[in-house]
């Protein structure tokens, strides 16, 4: 009985014997699909970071541009022993909410 094909160890084989094709195709399709999904995920992450940065800019600009009640500033200065700049900054951070600003002083 003669064989037209020499048999050898296939564990390190890098040439096609004709019986791995369909399995390789499925694996390659799965890899391609996973790469597409990874690319979509990466794009989504970049977009989220961009939106987060835009949001931070808006929030920070509101804090800086926001006006605070003069009476609240004076109260914070007198009762909490703060400078005018500190009182204004804390009120702005807390959206001009006097109670939140007082709480902030005690917790920070």
pLDDT surpassing 70 at residue 20: no
Span 61-102, pLDDT tens digits: 665 556 788 999 999 999 999 999 999 999 999 988 999 999
DSSP letter at 17 equals: -
Confidence of residue 59 (pLDDT cuts 50, 70, 90): confident
CA dihedral 45, 51, 57, 58 (to 10 degrees): -150
Interhelix angle for 98-107 vs 84-93, to 10°? 110
Span 36-47, pLDDT tens digits: 999 999 999 999
């Amino acid at each position: 009985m003669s064989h037209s094909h020499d048999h050898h160890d296939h564990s390190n084989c890098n040439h096609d014997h004709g019986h791995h094709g369909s399995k390789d195709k499925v694996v390659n399709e799965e890899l391609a699909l996973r790469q597409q999904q990874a690319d979509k995920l990466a794009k989504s992450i970049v977009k989220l970071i961009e939106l987060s940065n835009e949001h931070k800019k808006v929030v920070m600009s509101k804090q800086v541009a926001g006006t605070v009640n003069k009476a609240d500033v004076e109260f914070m200065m007198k009762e909490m022993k703060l400078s005018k700049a500190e009182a204004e900054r804390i009120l702005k951070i807390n959206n001009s909410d006097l109670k939140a600003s007082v709480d902030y002083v005690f917790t920070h």
